[in-house]
Amino acid sequence: MRHDAAAGGNVPALDGAALLALAPGLAGLATVTVEDWARLPAVHVGADRLWALRERVRAIAAAGTCDALLVTHGTDTLEETAALLARTVAGDLPIVVTGAMRTSSDPDWDGPRNLLDAARVATDPGARGRGALVVFAGRILPGLQAVKTEATAVPAFEAPHGAPVGEVAEGVVRWLAPPAAPAVVAPRDLSARVAIVPLLPGDDGFLLEAALPRFDGVVIVSYGSGNTPPGAIPAVRRWLAAGKPVVLATRCARGEVTPAYAFEGGSARMLELGCIPAGPRTPWQARLELQVALGAGVPYGAGTRA
């Protein structure tokens, strides 16, 4: 991005060659081949483009023509791309995703540091066999766990349901955990339509009812460990009776849905109905996981802890 006075804000402006020119130290780390796959705001990447990017990354990985792959990405949906690559692209090729919170117009632009750190990680032997990674503000995060937790601050990504697997400090890569690639599944595409419905105090299930005919599955954002207002339960039952999966996530920033409460609408009762606990995932990660599972014809969370 770069600030455009006429547009009144930041807009996509730099191609791959321009990014490299603004991070001159990168040339000393590796021989870089640039592919300008797209120049888009991250929120312009819908399911079709996300799948096309996955297919391009998979083709490059399968071709064996490079030692590592680095994807620069807008931060708004970077976590969806990283999770999809981690979940569906097999092999030991290091795949590193990074971006920037500042623009190239800003004096404190974080792009060059993140690019250099990402390249250092991608070319480090310890990156192999870890699946897709996110490198941002010195943190090395598993692609399935990276979450954007800050709207504007530079250290924007964390792993609220996990932990960093490494760090980059003063140009040195340090691994904090041994390699552990996630289980890989092979969806046909991302055409499955999955809704996210947050529940409200006293919820009567209206939004769940409205979404039922239009979507193939739903992630419910519930309270605490999976507790649901009783008024929404009839709508949940109708989703389940229609044979459509209902994943139960929590609106809490950390922690998981657990069968702890047995009152009407309590998490234990909801799981007894047939709702699927989201596992160590945010609602947004749970949505992508369900979309991938439906596209692959496998149970939600197949091969991973859930």
Residue 180 inside a domain? The answer is no
User: Are residues 289 and 249 located together in one domain of the fold?
Assistant: yes
User: Are residues 51 and 23 located together in one domain of the fold?
Assistant: yes
Residue 231 inside a domain? The answer is yes
User: Are residues 41 and 140 located together in one domain of the fold?
Assistant: yes
pLDDT in tens, 126-160: 999 999 999 999 999 999 999 999 999 999 999 99
Residue 187 inside a domain? The answer is no
User: Are residues 107 and 142 located together in one domain of the fold?
Assistant: yes
The enclosing domain of 109 has a CATH number of 3.40.50.1170
Least confidently predicted of 9-23, 67-81, 110-124, 238-252: 9-23
Instruction: Tell me the average pLDDT across 25-53.
Output: 93
User: Are residues 70 and 22 located together in one domain of the fold?
Assistant: yes
pLDDT for 22 equals: 87
User: Are residues 126 and 202 located together in one domain of the fold?
Assistant: no
Percent of the chain with pLDDT over 70: 99
Residue 177 banded pLDDT, cuts 50, 70, 90: very high
User: Are residues 11 and 131 located together in one domain of the fold?
Assistant: yes
User: Are residues 41 and 141 located together in one domain of the fold?
Assistant: yes
Boundary (domain end) residue, out of 175, 209, 242: 175
Cα separations in angstroms, 82 against 53, 95, 98, 115, 246: 11, 9, 9, 16, 24
| pLDDT at 304 exceeding the cut of 80 | no
Token readout for 50 is 């996300």
Q: Please, are residues 161 and 186 in contact by the beta-carbon 8 Å criterion?
A: no
Structural domain of 219: 194-296
Percent of the chain with pLDDT over 90: 91
Residue 301 inside a domain? The answer is no
pLDDT for 234 equals: 98
Mean pLDDT score of the chain? 95
User: Are residues 146 and 224 located together in one domain of the fold?
Assistant: no
Boundary (domain end) residue, out of 175, 204, 233: 175
Element (H, E) at 133: strand 132-136
| pLDDT at 23 exceeding the cut of 90 | no
Cα separations in angstroms, 59 against 66, 90, 160, 180: 11, 11, 31, 22
Residue 183 inside a domain? The answer is no
d(CA 89, CA 252): 30
Instruction: Tell me the average pLDDT across 176-198.
Output: 95
Residue 272 inside a domain? The answer is yes
User: Are residues 252 and 168 located together in one domain of the fold?
Assistant: no
| pLDDT at 305 exceeding the cut of 80 | no
User: Are residues 133 and 59 located together in one domain of the fold?
Assistant: yes
The enclosing domain of 254 has a CATH number of 3.40.50.40
pLDDT for 181 equals: 84
pLDDT for 256 equals: 97
User: Are residues 151 and 259 located together in one domain of the fold?
Assistant: no
Residue 189 inside a domain? The answer is no
pLDDT for 139 equals: 98
pLDDT for 306 equals: 32
Residue 303 banded pLDDT, cuts 50, 70, 90: confident
Residue 185 inside a domain? The answer is no
| pLDDT at 120 exceeding the cut of 60 | yes
Boundary (domain end) residue, out of 143, 175, 207: 175
